[in-house]
Structure 1
Amino acid sequence: MSQAQPEPASVIRVTDREGKRHELEAVEGWRVMEILRDYRVGIEGICGGGLDCASCHVVVAKEWADRLHPPREDELDKLDELPVIEPTSRLSCQILWTDDLDGLELTIPDEV
């Protein structure tokens, strides 16, 4: 009789500011910012997701950008305050984790 294997956890693939790649276990319903902050890979999340600081800025891999919900106007406004952004820049506090995002690839950009 074989035992049921536990389902593998969903993961986020993150490249930090030093270029090191990490695979982080993700939790359904958490903000991506919370996951990145808890693993201490370079995200501060100072405002806790209140769209007040943009310290959770990430660059989403191009192949994933269209799979995320589009940014709201208030997120775009906060991104516009940053000195440098990319076409796929997002605030990780505005991305809620679902298992559909398993394998999501992000880069934490250099601080300017």
Structure 2
Amino acid sequence: MPKITYIEHGGKEHVVEVTAGLTVMEGARDNGIPGIEADCGGACACSTCHVYVDPAWMDLLPAKEPMEEDMLDFAYAPDPLRSRLTCQIKVTDALDGLVVQMPEKQI
């Protein structure tokens, strides 16, 4: 089962196993990771599951769809290169070791 590292804004790390086929957001929700609110439940209708993806992983993720790009405009302090919505990243075995960091807050 792939392991994902979620890093809170303050630096606390949470390494959890996430079932392939779920999203990175669902992995956070199911494991009680603080910092990912996911108000819309994964419908890509808000920006409350925003994270910064570790640069080493950026090229391994699928490209952002236009709707995700639009929602990231509403995120707190988005980074044009590293910001992603975790509801749009499906966990696969290839993402074993993925590292994401939460912003200071979600809006």
Normalized against structure 1, the TM-score is what?
0.87
8 A contact 2:54–2:82 mirrored in 1: yes
Q: Which of 18, 21, 25 in structure 2 is aligned with 1:26? A: 18
* Unmatched 5+ stretches in structure 2: none
Runs of 4+ in 1 over 4 A off after TM superposition: none
Q: Does 1:36 align with 2:18?
A: no
Gapped runs of 5+ residues in structure 1? Answer: 1-8
Q: What does 1:1-112 align with in structure 2 at a 5 Å threshold? A: 9-41=1-33, 42-86=35-79, 87-111=81-105
Alpha-carbon RMSD: 1.2
**Residue identity matched to 1:81:** F
Residue identity in the other structure for 2:7 = T
Instruction: Compute the displacement of 1:82 (Å).
Output: 2.2
Query: Which is higher, the Rg of structure 1 or of structure 2?
Result: 1
Query: In the alignment, is the contact (CA less than 8 A) between 2:3 and 2:17 conserved in 1?
Result: yes
| Fraction of identical pairs, as percent | 40
Q: Deviations over 1:5-44 (max 9, x none)?
A: xxxx320011112210111111010011010112222211
- CA separation in 1, counterparts of 2:36 and 2:48? 7
How many residues end up aligned between the 2 structures?
104
For residues 69 and 15 of structure 1, the distance between their equivalents in structure 2, rounded to whole angstroms, comes to 21
| DSSP-derived class of the 2:71 partner | helix
Rounded to whole Å, the distance in 1 between the matches of 2:75 and 2:28 is: 20
Displacement of 1:49 after TM fit?
1.0
Alpha-carbon separation, structure 1, partners of 2:86 and 2:46: 12
